[in-house]
Structure 1
């Protein structure tokens, strides 16, 4: 590949262990690596790009996504959530929706996800689902960097009457799922470009036995792959684990030997010390002491009236905070902004949760979780995963502090170009690796097929309108 010289008004360059703002800077890319950042480059270059009034940042690392289904969350998951389930949609609407999507709809969701991720700044994504090979193939085609996991569990929850949670257990099925997940990791390790790798994802703290959790941690260490789980994501989860084991979800994971530096906890909202739980204890210390990280996905909970009560408090406790999208929109721009604003609102302070903290969460913090000092930064030796942001737009100008403008104001339209592994996947707003023609029409048809199947996949046989009522009554 030719040596590329990129000049821009601002570059977020990594120096002395932190992001620094390089004005009128140069980034040089040789193959899939950055080989120079600074000013006054005197070396060779086969191609020179004058990006002009542009901010160059590292690509965002999205640590929690469900690419097979998330695009169809629209028009279904909003404005619903029973009080007996503390507003979560996990028990009813999520299960109904996921079971109602057909395989053609899954393929459409995966295709839409490729477009959405790239257009909103994700260059590395951690996906959890049930169709890892298909997602991996799509990521390879799109040029995305990805970590892929096929999820597994010892049991699953359901509601038999719309008011309480029950469980169906299959411990042998959980271990069989773990074996499948390991096979996927090995297959991805042996083939492809090296951009797409595997990891382990037992589904939820309250659907996995201690034995399954212990074996997952052992294999994560043996295979040297990340390990993720949904934990402390719902009040019913906390109450069920307290009733069964006398422990919070975090305490339960710790008791099983699950927590550790390779672990990322999806959500981790309902922890000791919050107003939701009148429980003594120190879940945050347990997370921090273990070296585990959290993936905060602000929007998916905010739309249900739920948020982490102090992200700055997690940071002060020493917890490594990363960000994901979880649901639609699968936009790290939105995830960064909602996390920024809600963190300030919960802490009731403007200065305890800063734009730099959010930039770190979306880049170097996530790279630390992955054990990758070649991601999340622009520095010699790092992978050439770059985002080029237009600064001369009505949204982004005037510019004094480009990082504040990025965190608090940027939109997907301000992202001009995306490079992953040294290759352009988007240039001047045009996707180069994803065919978007007919995509929205296919997604609409997939949604209509899914909605029509709702009564078939609801245990109570309810209609779509009974499960997720429309905002307005039809005009007659």
Structure 2
């Protein structure tokens, strides 16, 4: 038996998280054997986590696994015509045959970076989104297995695509038949690979977007997910136009439409779900979208950090939860950091509600573990309890940026960071020890994604319809240093 001595252990009592001070967690193989004040049984190994905080492994219910090579350029400057949208800057293919900028990415290096960042930051289970492109999705499977993470994934179902026209407009094209073929591929993948990697790889049906899919594709995808006993997920209401275009063509809000299609429910995960009827940027108060989602017990994958950078916010965290929606945290895109997401969730939740009691630390913390487990239909992850999977994270608060933690979760949610994670364990296997990844060389992972950077910058200039370079389109926060023209006795003369 491996005994972990706390510290503060965030233990689950069967109903909710509780603080267990100076307790122990006993690990037997891939399971937690015992949680309590002491242990008098057999001991084969010990981990000293005294003066530290032991939390359950975090669960990200929506993440694009990569180094986020393109997203890193989008700071304060974005194309205004895309209305706070990020991916439209890089993803659509050109009609003239010029590929998008993702073709310059080293796929394996990018995946390794993304998974490594998640694990290093304490994410032990993740719902991954995106394409693979390798034979039978071997690349995604291999890299996830290398990193030791618990992965929910299957090849994505698109049902449509975006095009970047020569005049700079982005247009859409739906292809229901292609989407149904991709659904068959995803179902076959789940049948053959679900439960592999010692059970750490599980499948789910992922339709890329509500906006580019059709009712027939969504209904069929949800039926297949139910038949396979796996979750169903898709991007939903992350674009302003989704709401108004759906209303204009169907007379229903997007959420009313999903309800009529029968795709809502406890095993449906809607990624983002910002622009509901009551959102201030929609202002359609006659529809109770939040109430509909709550009645069906649907999950919303909430990733506030990525969207706050675009000036967007969920309205609001408590309103969704109080209506019965299962709000679960997600890491979405850059920076793939659950601690950043939790800190943003509590701050933005308070700001949106104009209430310091809103988005309380305990509720946000539970959204990063228990809510994610519920979304995935699991009662054995996201908690520290006897019989649960040994997915554990140890956070070291002994730093000036963290400081004394009389209320550890309050401080952790507001001021925690991936850099303070000292140990990560999945299925009883230690993946991070003493703040360093054991499953790979961190320096090598970082170096590998730095190498293709120049190719990306060159490709973007060809991709951009105006021929702009990356830094012309996305202006850096500071200008480059320039040497002064003359130097006098007292030093440089600045212009």
Q: Does 1:252 align with 2:253?
A: no
Secondary structure of the 2:399 match is coil
Q: Equivalents in 1 of 2:445, 2:373: separation in Å?
A: 32
Name which one, 1 or 2, has greater alpha-carbon Rg: 2
Residue 76 of structure 2: aligned partner? 79
Residue 489 of structure 2: aligned partner? none
Q: Does 1:89 align with 2:86?
A: yes
Does structure 2 conserve the Cα–Cα contact (< 8 Å) formed by 1:114 and 1:434?
no
Q: Equivalents in 2 of 1:59, 1:407: separation in Å?
A: 14
| Count of residues paired in the alignment | 473
Residue 37 of structure 1: aligned partner? 35
Residue 491 of structure 2: aligned partner? none
Work out which of the residue numbers 366, 370, 375 in structure 2 matches 1:364. 370
Residue 138 of structure 1: aligned partner? 143
Equivalent residues in 2 for 1:72-471, closer than 5 Å? 72-95=69-92, 99-102=100-103, 105-131=106-132, 132-160=137-165, 165-189=170-194, 191-279=196-284, 280-458=286-464, 462-471=468-477
Does structure 1 conserve the Cα–Cα contact (< 8 Å) formed by 2:370 and 2:383?
yes
Q: Equivalents in 2 of 1:460, 1:449: separation in Å?
A: 19
Residues 126-179 of structure 1: CA deviation (Å, up to 9, x unaligned): 101111431221111111111113211221234536675532122211111111
Does structure 2 conserve the Cα–Cα contact (< 8 Å) formed by 1:88 and 1:234?
yes
Does structure 1 conserve the Cα–Cα contact (< 8 Å) formed by 2:10 and 2:19?
yes
Of 253-262 and 225-234, more deviation after overlay is shown by 253-262
Inter-CA distance 190–395: structure 2 relative to 1 (3 Å threshold)? closer
Does structure 2 conserve the Cα–Cα contact (< 8 Å) formed by 1:136 and 1:148?
no
Q: Equivalents in 1 of 2:124, 2:195: separation in Å?
A: 22
Secondary structure of the 2:154 match is strand
Q: Equivalents in 2 of 1:241, 1:23: separation in Å?
A: 52
Of 455-464 and 277-286, more deviation after overlay is shown by 455-464
Does structure 2 conserve the Cα–Cα contact (< 8 Å) formed by 1:206 and 1:249?
no
Give, in angstroms, the shift of residue 108 of structure 1. Answer: 1.4
Q: Equivalents in 2 of 1:250, 1:44: separation in Å?
A: 54
Q: Equivalents in 2 of 1:104, 1:388: separation in Å?
A: 33
Q: Equivalents in 2 of 1:76, 1:391: separation in Å?
A: 32
Residues 170-205 of structure 1: CA deviation (Å, up to 9, x unaligned): 221111111111122123226332111111111111
Residues 306-331 of structure 1: CA deviation (Å, up to 9, x unaligned): 11121111112111100111111111
Q: Equivalents in 1 of 2:292, 2:168: separation in Å?
A: 33
Inter-CA distance 11–96: structure 2 relative to 1 (3 Å threshold)? farther
Give, in angstroms, the shift of residue 394 of structure 1. Answer: 1.8
